[in-house]
Amino acid sequence: MRLILIILLFISSVAHAQEARPISDAEQFAVTSAVEDFLYGASVNDVQAHDKFWAPELTYTSSSGVRFGKAELMEGMSNAKMLPKSEVTAWYTAEDIELKAFGPSIIINFTLVSTDVASGARETFLNTGVMVERQGQWQAVNWNATRTATPSTE
């Protein structure tokens, strides 16, 4: 009987730990701002924006199906030069942002939009990230980018 009680208590605590928790307005603002600031930085090729946004233990799965960490991502930016606004070729923005909090982590889902400056053409990607707060800064520890499916013409 005691074993059954222990098992039931364990199961109920695990089930409770998996429930989403409410997100405060401050958390929502901070996480959304972190993503928007990062996307602006990515648009202007700002290496520091990448370094600030990505956590050291990042696992990134690209839309092309390649998985890598922060070191590889930052290595790819080693020769990057920050662009003045007048030289940006595509602006990155976030639409349809959805946040879910579990414990100290926040999961963010959104549509990343790449808008070509010259033509106005939009390319979209579904992005999902796991964000954690460290020293007042939200960073991504896990990220997945998926090219948005082309609607069927059937």
Domains of the chain, earliest start first: 22-147 (3.10.450.50)
Residue 149 has pLDDT above 90, yes or no: no
- Across all residues in the chain, what is the average pLDDT? 90
If we measure between CA atoms, which residue out of 94, 84, 81 comes closest to residue 48? 81
Measuring CA to CA, how many Å separate 22 from each of 44, 104, 139? 34, 11, 19
Mean pLDDT, rounded, for 52-80: 94
Pick the more confident residue, 20 or 9: 20
Residue 148 has pLDDT above 80, yes or no: yes
pLDDT reported for residue 19: 85
Residue 126 has pLDDT above 60, yes or no: yes
pLDDT reported for residue 45: 95
Residue 68 has pLDDT above 70, yes or no: yes
User: Is the alpha carbon torsion for 84, 86, 111, 151 positive or negative?
Assistant: negative
pLDDT reported for residue 113: 97
User: CA-to-CA distance for 86 and 130, rounded, in angstroms?
Assistant: 32
Residue 24 has pLDDT above 70, yes or no: yes
**Strongest mean pLDDT among 6-15, 73-82, 138-147:** 138-147
